[in-house]
Amino acid sequence: MLLTLKQGAQRTSLNQDMEIITLANTVSSLVLDFEDEISATLNVTITQGSTLDLFCFNTSNRLSINETYTLEKDSTLNLSYGDLTQGETLRNVQVNLEGKGAQVQLNSATLITSDTNLNYRFSHKAQHTQGDMKNYAVMGKGGNLSLYAIGHIESTGAFSETHQSTRVLNLEGSKKASVYPHLIIDNNEVQASHAESTGQMDEDHLYYLQSRGLDVNQAIRLMVKGYLSSVTDSINDEALKTLILEQIDQKVEELC
């Protein structure tokens, strides 16, 4: 299936292999819904001078997907994931920054209650490219997470930047969270950083919310919503941002 994005906003479901292309020098936004059981590939080309806000909303029973993003000169990709499902998830993401001045911002919000394997990789192939990756994961009961975050600045990627951070919040009863940050630097004229933290629910904050009249489950849900809402930080489309926050609220109420 081929989808050509014009100026403006669209929403569609992904249930088969899909190719997406933006028109040059346009600004567009797209919501992709992942439902039922899916095994597919997704190939996206952000053409010269264009900007794409893409939100992938996963409520599937089982998801296995390979995604490849190609960024041409002076293009921008704001890529957000909302993985709010009880099903198993396997996602491989390859972002190729092939044109000078290309930029990618990846934000992921994942509520984990089963086996979840996430692999995110930025490959900086051209000069003056920028990549920033921010991952937020909440480990629910029975959750098992493996997350690889890789930033590779190739020898041709002088004056580029790649940054990544991953934060994992463990709720009671979660199994295991394994996070593997990697930086591969093949050029000296670059900037790169990574950070990772894993922790429990803040007991003081939880106590404060309970002192304001919430029961413990309401307090936990409120904290989880706030934690996952960071996925909208880079989204410019206010209508899209509101939609995402509403769906996060709905799914947290169902799953927490």
CB 141 within 8 A of CB 114: no
Evaluate whether residue 232 is within a structural domain.
no
Evaluate whether residue 29 is within a structural domain.
yes
CB 227 within 8 A of CB 136: yes
Evaluate whether residue 85 is within a structural domain.
yes
Evaluate whether residue 50 is within a structural domain.
yes
CB 35 within 8 A of CB 65: no
Q: Locate tokens 């997350």: which residue?
A: 147
Cα 171 from Cα 206, distance rounded (Å): 12
**The two structure tokens encoding residue 43:** 């190939």
Evaluate whether residue 19 is within a structural domain.
yes
Evaluate whether residue 209 is within a structural domain.
no
pLDDT tens for the chain, residues 1 to 256 = 888 887 778 889 998 999 999 999 999 999 999 999 999 999 999 999 999 999 999 999 999 999 999 999 999 999 999 898 888 999 999 999 999 999 999 999 998 889 999 999 999 999 999 999 999 998 888 889 999 999 999 999 999 999 999 999 888 656 688 999 999 999 999 999 999 888 777 677 777 777 777 777 787 778 888 878 888 877 777 887 888 788 788 877 776 6
Query: Which residues does 213 contact at the CB level (< 8 Å), separation at least 6?
Result: none
Q: Cα 9 to the chain's mean position, in Å?
A: 19
141 secondary structure, DSSP code: T
Evaluate whether residue 65 is within a structural domain.
yes
pLDDT (0 to 100) of residue 60: 92
Evaluate whether residue 106 is within a structural domain.
yes
* Residue of 194, 121, 130, 120 whose CA lies nearest to 158: 130
* Residue of 174, 170, 193 whose CA lies nearest to 183: 193
The domain in which residue 40 lies consists of: 2-201
pLDDT (0 to 100) of residue 5: 83
Q: Locate tokens 């004056």: which residue?
A: 159
Amino acid at 207: Y
* Residue of 122, 123, 66 whose CA lies nearest to 89: 66
What is the domain count for the chain?
Answer: 1
The reported pTM is 0.91
